[in-house]
Structure 1
Amino acid sequence: MKATLLAKPLTHARVEQIADQFAMPDLTLPFWGYRKKMPMHQIVRLEGEGNYTVFHFVDGSQLMVSLTLKKMESRLSPKVFVRPHKKNIINLLYLDSIHPDPQQMRVSLVNGDQVDVSRRKASRFIKQVKGFQQELQVLAVQPSEVLAA
């Protein structure tokens, strides 16, 4: 059983627009002796591997940094990034669908990745997704109100 959350995936231009409205700054990451700025809105998901975090980007590239997922979670925008499982943080801008299975809830992202939602975090995760969708609806209404004024 598959429940689609959005009528269609967000376009790249819409993601850029939402990123500006949510004030998603670039994220400075330690990388092989120097720091690298990465646009936060281009992160699809983060995956924890021990004391390291693997970033999965919208262009298919990956980057591993020597920071824990918990430390990275505190640097991300809580309006857009949610942690459905102890090993993953996902960007709701790239959420495609939720698969509500009695045994294990799972989400699909637009890049094809599937991430499990822990049973303990499932109800909070659903509330976060609904809140995010309401925020998107408010953002969609605001530009037309500005044009009418």
Structure 2
Amino acid sequence: MYKTIIVEDEQRIREALSIMLEMVAPEQIQIVAYAESVEEAVKLIDRLQPDLVFMDIMLQNGTGFDVLQQITFNSFHLIFTTAYEQHAINAFKYSAIDYLLKPIDPDELKTAIERISLLQERVLEKQQLNELQNNLSKSPDRIILPTQEAMYVVKLEQILRCETSGSYTTFFLTDGRKIMVSKPLKNYEDLLEPPMFFRVHQSHLINVNSIVSYSREGMVHMNDKSVVPISRGKKEQFFKLMKEEI
């Protein structure tokens, strides 16, 4: 059972979220408090020490970031709720921070709760919040790659290629590092988009700027000396992209 605090300054949204939580996770969620302001949220989180917090980003007298900067207790799962549009949603994805888009969908809410039940770590890394704030203010140029060992902040230009195997993806970086994350490549395909990146194969996504050569037969030679196949269904789109880039 997760002791839960909802930080939201709109009453109708608080009530709707409460009802949905009772519907989708009645045996997992215990709502212990609601907060409408930054000050109230800080006091309740530090006093009640919840397991889970739903945090609205825009509050009447500040933001969810203000809350997170002022609390002393931070050992909880965090799910942002936001009405931001696609550019900002990508910022959450780049920062590896969980979120729900308003109006909240019950199925997505259930999935989010199931997802946190698989996580052991409850402390939100400050570098994640810093990256999120940075990404919300401009077009993201870095991505956070979470592993069991650490949170890696990687510049997009450092990503040479990605290779997926089952539910894992390995990022090959220009400095020779390899970072494996426990997410499939499809989770990153919307973030690593053309013209800088291109998914040439079901198992491979490459940085176009790191291509040394490619053949009509469908093989791409990368500057780390790796050779990546182009799937038959991707050839026409890939060659078209190459012509546009030249």
Normalising by structure 2, we get a TM-score of: 0.42
Q: Please state if 1:35 is matched with 2:148.
A: no
What SS does the corresponding residue of 1:60 show, helix, strand or coil?
coil
Residue pair 2:197, 2:205 contacting (<8 A) in 1 also:
yes
What SS does the corresponding residue of 2:209 show, helix, strand or coil?
helix
Gaps of 5+ in 2: 1-138
Deviations 1:89-127 (A, max 9, x none): 0001100101222xxx10101110100001111001111
What SS does the corresponding residue of 2:194 show, helix, strand or coil?
coil
Residue pair 1:24, 1:41 contacting (<8 A) in 2 also:
no
1:114 matched residue in structure 2:
227
Displacement, 1:32? 1.4
Q: Distance in 1 between matches of 2:173 and 2:199?
A: 17
**Paired letter, 1:31:** T
Q: Distance in 2 between matches of 1:28 and 1:78?
A: 19
Matching of residues 4-83 of structure 1 within 5 Å = 25-32=141-148, 34-83=150-199
Gaps of 5+ in 1: 1-22, 134-149
Residue pair 1:85, 1:118 contacting (<8 A) in 2 also:
yes
- The sequence identity of aligned pairs, in percent, is 31
> Per residue, is there more strand in 1 or in 2?
1
Alignment length (residue pairs): 108
Q: Distance in 2 between matches of 1:89 and 1:130?
A: 18
Q: Distance in 2 between matches of 1:92 and 1:109?
A: 9
Out of 91, 95, 110, the residue aligned to residue 207 of structure 2 is: 91
Residue pair 2:197, 2:208 contacting (<8 A) in 1 also:
yes
1:8 matched residue in structure 2:
none
Q: Distance in 2 between matches of 1:62 and 1:99?
A: 26
Normalising by structure 1, we get a TM-score of: 0.67
When Rg is computed on C-alpha atoms for both structures, the one with the higher figure is 2
